[in-house]
Amino acid sequence: DVVLGKLDFTQNSFGKTTATDLEIGGGILVDTTTTPNRVYVVDTNHSRILGFADTNIYLGRVPDVLIGQPSFDRGAANLDGTAQRYPELIAPTSATLALMNPIQISTEETVVMVQLAVDEDHALYVCDVFNDRVLKYEDPFATDSVADEVWGQPDFNSREANNGGRSASSLDFRYAPVCAGATIGPDGSLWVADSMNDRVLRFLKDPGSGVIAKTADLVLGQSDFTSGAPGSGMDELTNPAGLAVSSAGTVYVTDMHFGVST
C-alpha cells in the first residue's frame, strides 16, 4: 500500500539525500512498547536512522526523528566518509554513525543490514557497524538524537575493531557478510551478535541500578572472551548476524554460514 524511500512503486533512482529518500534500507523496527507504536528505519548508505512517531506512514512523509546526521541532506559516514582520506579517517562522535564503509568509493559496493532493538523504557539500540560499537539512545522522541551510552569502544571517539585486543568488552562488525544485530532479553540485558569475532555476547543488566554492564558476562560460540575462530560445531559460530531471546530465555542466533542455532 505504501512505499518508503521512493516517490512511487516504479521509481528506482539512487543517490538522493533527502528526508524521503533511502539509499538501501537496511532494517526496520516497530517499537510496540509505546502507544501509538513507533517505527525506526535503517538507511544504511546514508548512515542514519529515521524515526516515525506512529505507524501512519504515507507517501512523502518526513520522519519525526533523525539519528546519525545533522540534517536530512547529509549522508556521509561519520559526516565525512570519503575514501580520499584513507587511511586517515574521521573519528566518530556520539552524534554520528558509520553504516556504510567509509573507505569505499561507490555507495553501492556494500549492502549492510542492521537489527535494531528497544527496551521497556523506549531506548533505542543501534549496531554502528563500521565504528564497531553499539549505541544506546534514551527515548529519541522525548530527548535528542545523541547517543547516551556505548558498548564495544572505550569512548564515543574511538572506532577500531577490537580496540585494545579481543576481550569481553570489544566488538568487531566490519568486513563480515555485513550484518549486525542486537536485542534486549526479558531481563533487560543486551545481547549482541559480534559477527567478525564469531560469537554472541551478553551484557548483563543490574536489576538494582538498571545499568547494563559494558563488559560481557557470557559468550556463545567461543570458549572464552579472547578466542575468535569460526566453526561449525554445536558450540561454535561463524559470522552470527542476528539474534532473538524468548521470554523463557532461549537464545536464537542466525549464523550466516550454518543457519539458525539455539
In the predicted model, what is the mean pLDDT of the chain? 89
Are the CB atoms for 74 and 105 separated by under 8 Å?
no
pLDDT in the model for residue 85: 67
Are the CB atoms for 132 and 163 separated by under 8 Å?
yes
In a domain, 156, yes or no: yes
pLDDT in the model for residue 217: 98
Tell me whether strands 251-255 and 218-220 are parallel, antiparallel or unpaired: unpaired
pLDDT tens by residue, 169-228: 999 998 655 789 999 999 999 999 999 999 999 999 999 999 999 999 999 999 999 999
Among 2-11, 15-24, 34-43, 122-131, the least confident range = 2-11
- The answer, yes or no, to whether residue 2 has pLDDT greater than 90, is no
pLDDT in the model for residue 8: 62
pLDDT in the model for residue 90: 85
CA distance 36 to 18: 26
Sequence-distant (6+) residues with CB within 8 A of 146 are 94, 95, 137
Domain range enclosing 159: 93-261
- The answer, yes or no, to whether residue 47 has pLDDT greater than 80, is yes
Question: Greater confidence, 100 or 123?
Answer: 123
In a domain, 222, yes or no: yes
Among 89-93, 108-112, 196-200, the least confident range = 108-112
CA distance 85 to 232: 39
In a domain, 69, yes or no: no
In a domain, 18, yes or no: no
Mean pLDDT of 110-137: 95
One-letter amino acid identity for 132?
A: D
Per-residue pLDDT band for 83 (boundaries 50, 70, 90) equals low
**DSSP codes, 12-36:** ------STTB-SSEEEEEEETTSSS
In a domain, 173, yes or no: yes
Tell me whether strands 179-184 and 113-115 are parallel, antiparallel or unpaired: parallel
In a domain, 255, yes or no: yes
Count CB-CB contacts under 10 A for residue 244.
17
Mean pLDDT of 253-259: 78
pLDDT in the model for residue 74: 93
In a domain, 48, yes or no: no
DSSP 8-state class, residue 130: G
Number of structural domains, the chain?
1
Mean pLDDT of 126-153: 97
Mean pLDDT of 228-235: 90
CA distance 91 to 95: 11
pLDDT tens by residue, 58-74: 778 899 999 999 999 99
SS3 label, residue 50: strand
In a domain, 175, yes or no: yes
